[in-house]
Amino acid sequence: MQRVFAFFLLLLTFWADTTIADTRYVSDKQFIPLRSGPGSNYRITHRGIPSGTQLEVSKTSENGEYAEITTVKGTQGWIRTQYLMTELPAQNKVDAAERKAASLAEQNRNIRAESKALKQERAELLTQVKNTSGSLDSTTEELAQLKAISGKAVQLNTDNSRLVLESEELRSEVETLEAENQRLQDKLESEAFMDGAIAVLLGVIIALVVPRLWPTRRKNSSWA
């Protein structure tokens, strides 16, 4: 029995000294001290590892209460394993969600500003359409007056052909402007739909996902 126990102890010691290089995160506790060795009797080498800090676990103590870690900035030391998590703490996830929500809100404001500019452009295009229609009416009236006062049939026919051609070009411009107006109107409606969809999606994320990410806090043991 003693040999079995000695073999088990040797195996446990070998496992504890093996390099693990396992990624962990500091739990929701605000300031986690680092020590120079695996125990509370070792001196504190760092007093403030913040929550959510990513670090690599190289090995653990024989009793499993302490782990030797290295932060991404190169800080090394021993920390109590009870403060290590395999996933990012819920508060950090909430902060990331809030930053994403702020980014979406900024995008939404930009889309609304662009929509306002498009509405203004649409109004200007409508004004151009009206002006073009007025110019077309004026050209038609001019053609009628030329026919009435001109005694030169050949010249009148030439002028008539020119004005008819200009009239067709103006009508083509009107049709082009009307098509552009319809395109802008469709774009505005699509962007309004996207604004609503983003708002609904954001509401669903905050209402359903965020509460599930908040874990139950563990009771702190004696000061490490």
Interval 207-221: pLDDT, tens:
777 677 666 555 554
> Residue 205 belongs to what H/E stretch?
none
Positions in the chain short of pLDDT 70: 1-21, 24-30, 89-99, 146-147, 149-153, 156, 210, 213-224
What is the reported pLDDT for 108? 77
In which residue are the tokens 């029995």 written? 1
**What is the pTM for the complete model shown?**
0.33
Residue 23 CB partners (closer than 8 Å, separation 6+): 54, 55, 56, 57
Whole-number Å distance between alpha carbons of 174 and 75: 71
Residue 21: what pLDDT? 58
What does the pLDDT read at residue 13?
Answer: 45
- Looking at domain 2-87, its CATH superfamily turns out to be SH3 Domains (2.30.30.40)
What's the CA gap between 192 and 125, in Å, rounded?
21
For the chain, give every domain's residue range: 2-87, 91-212
pLDDT tens digits for range 53-76: 888 999 999 998 999 999 888 889
| pLDDT at position 146 | 66
- Picking from 222, 218, 221, the residue whose alpha carbon sits closest to that of residue 28 is 218
